[in-house]
Amino acid sequence: MGPKVQTHDLATRTHTVKAGTFPVRVYLEHPHGLYVERPFYDHPLYRYWQAHILPGPGWQVCRFTPHQGEHWCEYYVDIVSVRREGSVWSVQDLYLDLGVTRERAVRVLDTEELFAALEAGLISHRQAAWATAALHGLINALAEHGNDLPAMLRARGVELGWGLEVLS
């Protein structure tokens, strides 16, 4: 287990993760970050992924398209640290995640991964504290808006589009 870092190279239109380097269908920079969408290859559960990387609050807001049916949550938010150098965005996953269902229930995920990464020295105490504060901030902001993620973001001046909405 190593640090969970992914890179997005806008010049080559590639997304590099632990499983390899994959072509990206859409990269679109916007005032709040970067929109990404690409197919998943040989993934057991998902065939397509869309995400908005929001460096300010440290959130990667994802939507997944499964091979069958609907994903259990409408939005999956990774707590992340983002660094940009030229056309390359590096996104370090800080292990804490939040799922927001279509019914607007929220579920904190992967707390055990955060503690395991901390114990293994993959992240610092400072990063773990920051990730925890970012997750608490997200949960509190969602609670103020009935766990409606788009409404919460709009209240912060962030309007996220998905798929064809983003391109229009």
Q: pLDDT-based confidence at 164, cuts 50/70/90? A: low
For the chain, give every domain's residue range.
5-167
Look at residue 166 in the predicted model and tell me its pLDDT: 65
Helix (H) or strand (E) holding 87: none
Cα 32 to its chain centre, rounded Å, is 13
Centre a 10 Å sphere on the Cβ of residue 23 and count the other Cβ atoms it contains: 11
Look at residue 129 in the predicted model and tell me its pLDDT: 97
CATH class of the domain comprising 5-167: mainly beta
Q: Which residues pair with 20 in a beta bridge?
A: 17
Helix (H) or strand (E) holding 22: strand 20-23
Residue 160 to residue 86: CA distance in whole angstroms: 23
- What are the tens digits of pLDDT across the range 31-82? 999 999 999 988 889 999 999 999 999 999 999 999 998 889 999 999 999 9
Q: pLDDT-based confidence at 3, cuts 50/70/90? A: confident
Structure pTM? 0.94
